[in-house]
Amino acid sequence: MLFLNILDNETFLIAAEMLFIVTGSMLLGILLAYYYWGGNKTIAADLTSALDQEKKNAEDLRDQVREISELRSQAQTDIHELTLKSNSQIKTIYDQQQYIFSHETEHKNQKAVIDGLNSTIDTYQQRIRVIEEELEKARAPEPKTKKPTIPAIRANYEHVSKLLGRQVTENDLTLIVGIGPKTSTLLQANGIDDWDKLAAASAKVLKVLLLEAGGVYKSLDPTHWPKQASMAAQGEWRKLRVFQETLRKSD
């Protein structure tokens, strides 16, 4: 009955109602706090994940900046090397231009020297032609007063052949000591084709002729050829034989 009285007590009901309200408020607060804390943890986790991603992005950016810095440094090094190479090539081109210029000048000087030499050569060639003309004139036999000869003696070459010990024909240049068949041909080619013309030629002219022919002819000595030819032309065979023997002994 006491209990029922308590339940009927209005004050108790009010207190119970207040207790229920307070308890419900506490439970609701706890529930709200739980949900609030759980939401913050999710947000915090998302923020942490985002922060980690940003850190990773920042590291990637730092790596990219480092790579760009290295590339920039390498590019600056390459530019420096290219600049040095370009300067070296410019200097080389300049040196080559100077070399070409100097050689062009040298070429012009050499051309002037060559032109001068050609002019000198032309002068010498002209002088040589004059000398050759004078030599041709000197080779021409000069008129000579011949001594009277005895035709019978000159015509009797059989007797002369026995005297000289070799076959003798008229105007045979090989009769002269020092003249062989080739030398005789050379003399005939230059207009000296008989004893009279050989006797009229000077030893100096004959020497020039032999030097011009070259080869073995240069070593021949024509000093006594005109004298021998004169003896043959005059028919002085015994005198010629003695003179030729003297020449052979002296050799």
Q: Which among 99, 115, 139 is the end of a domain? A: 139
The reported pLDDT for the residue numbered 228 is 93
Q: Which domain, by its residues, includes 70?
A: 61-139
Is residue 56 classed exposed, middle or buried when 0-12, 13-18 and 19+ CB atoms within 10 A define those classes?
Answer: exposed
Asked whether residue 109 is domain-assigned, the answer is: yes
Which tokens hold the place of 93?
Answer: 């081109």
The domain boundary, picked from 119, 139, 159, lies at 139
Which DSSP helix (H) or strand (E) runs through 151? helix 151-155
Per-residue pLDDT of the chain (251 residues; tens, 9 = 90+): 544 455 456 676 777 777 878 887 788 878 877 777 777 677 777 878 887 888 888 788 788 888 887 888 888 888 888 888 888 888 888 888 888 878 887 877 787 778 767 766 866 676 687 677 767 766 665 544 444 444 434 447 888 888 888 888 899 999 999 999 999 999 999 999 999 999 999 999 999 999 998 888 989 999 999 999 999 999 999 999 999 999 888 86
Torsion of CA 163, 164, 166, 167, to 10 degrees: -70
In a domain, 193, yes or no: yes
Whether residue 125 is contained in a domain is answered as yes
**What would the pLDDT profile of 30-75 be if each residue is shown by its tens digit?**
887 777 777 767 777 787 888 788 888 878 878 888 888 788 888 8
pTM higher than 0.85 for the full model? Answer: no
Give me the number of domains the chain comprises: 2
